[in-house]
Structure 1
Amino acid sequence: MLARVLTETGEHSAIHPRDMGRLGEPDHVVLSRCLAEDRVIVTENAIDFRKLVAREEIHPGLIILPSARRDDALRLLQEALGYLTECGVPSDVMVNHVLEVSLDGTFRLFELP
């Protein structure tokens, strides 16, 4: 749902593995596809994806959302995108960075690796 809503705005090109017939792919395969397509990963799976992107010399970025209801997750993601826009061009800001979003709407942006 989040990917579809973001794409429908016309401001983002977002995909979900499920919509590409790739539901259940291992995390390292998802990361490989995102690297190849220069896509930021948005996930609730913080532990696994932090480890994976930490191994990459250059990656397009990782946004970690808290486990939340769909409408809350969408709101938090939209707020995160607004925060990134305030920081600069979001795609540039996110290179080799992780943005952790908390349920209360606070953000922590840090470099990784």
Structure 2
Amino acid sequence: MAVAQNAGHDGFHINWLGLSGEKDWNLMPRIVAEDYTFVTNNARDFRKLYISEEIHAGLIIIVPQVVPATQRDLFSLILDEIDGDDELLNEVIEISIEGDEAVLTRYSLPATREP
């Protein structure tokens, strides 16, 4: 989480919060209650968990399973993308690698519903 802190954001690893080894669904109450934007590479499980949250502070997904140094580089790109945004209310940002390029995808979750 040094990447977040170096960019001027608060950042806490689940280990620092005493949540190491917790099941994903057991993390959600704390994530929502503390208004955390959660960073993970577990896209499948956390998309399922976040879709049922009416309001959340955002989800960042680093899609590829890569070495920690590359994860930090990809996370830095995301932080550059959101620089100046006040919040990621009900948004997801995913970063993937296609060829030699990082690709950012940003979308609402849960999706905005039309009346």
Same fold flag (TM > 0.5) = yes
Q: Report the counterpart of residue 10 of structure 2 in structure 1.
A: 13
Gaps of 5+ in 2: 111-115
Identity %: 36
Gaps of 5+ in 1: none
Letter paired with 1:61: G
Which TM-score applies when normalising by structure 1?
Answer: 0.86
More helix by share: 1
Write the distance in 2 (CA, Å) between the matches of 1:73 and 1:81.
12
**Structure 1 residue runs of 4+, over 4 Å off?**
none
Q: Report the counterpart of residue 105 of structure 1 in structure 2.
A: 102
Write the distance in 1 (CA, Å) between the matches of 2:3 and 2:48.
28
Q: Report the counterpart of residue 113 of structure 2 in structure 1.
A: none
Instruction: Give the deviation of 1:10 after TM superposition.
Output: 6.3
More strand by share: 2
Q: Matched residue pairs, number?
A: 106
Aligned pairs (5 A) from 1:1-80:
3-7=1-5, 9=6, 11-65=8-62, 66-80=64-78
Q: Aligned Cα RMSD in Å? A: 1.4
Aligned pairs (5 A) from 1:87-106:
88-89=84-85, 91-92=86-87, 94-103=88-97, 104-106=101-103
Contact conserved, 2:95 with 2:103, CA < 8 A, in 1? Answer: yes
